[in-house]
């Protein structure tokens, strides 16, 4: 019931509006897709640039490492030529010291008395310990 009451001009306006909407959506879709493709290409280019910079940094670090390693090996070679082992023998004669303890006459008397006493006790028992 609703459809027959609209005039031809209204139908054309409504159809034109829908057609413009569809065309606008298609054009918008195409523009958005193009922008997305450009953005993707830009992101890929940035990734490639980052990878190249990273590889360049690694190569520079390897070059510095090689320089330091060669300098280190050269220093080691120079140090090895400066180090000499010197072996010397020393002949030393050592005399054994003789320790003497000289007792005074009074101390000798006490020692002799103690030895006589010890001998007397051993002889008195008759058995050798």
| 66 CB neighbour count, 10 Å cutoff | 10
List all residues 6 or more positions away from 103 whose beta carbon is below 8 Å from its beta carbon. Answer: 111
Q: Is the pLDDT of residue 1 over 50?
A: no
Domain range annotation of the chain: 12-125
Predicted model pTM: 0.38
pLDDT tens digits, one per residue of 6-49? 677 777 787 888 877 777 777 777 777 888 888 899 999 999 99
Element (H, E) at 19: helix 8-82
């Amino acid at each position: 019931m609703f459809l027959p009451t609209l005039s031809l001009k209204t139908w054309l306006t409504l159809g034109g509006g829908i057609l413009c909407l569809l065309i606008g959506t298609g054009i918008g879709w195409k523009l958005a897709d193009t922008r997305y493709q450009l953005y993707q290409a830009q992101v890929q280019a940035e990734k490639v640039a980052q990878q190249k910079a990273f590889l360049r940094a690694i190569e520079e670090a390897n070059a510095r490492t090689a320089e330091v390693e060669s300098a280190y090996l050269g220093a080691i070679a120079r140090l090895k030529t400066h180090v000499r082992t010197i072996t010397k023998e020393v002949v030393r004669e050592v005399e054994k010291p003789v320790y003497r303890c000289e007792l005074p006459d009074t101390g000798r008397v006490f020692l002799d008395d103690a030895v006589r006493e010890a001998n007397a006790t051993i002889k008195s028992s008759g058995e050798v310990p």
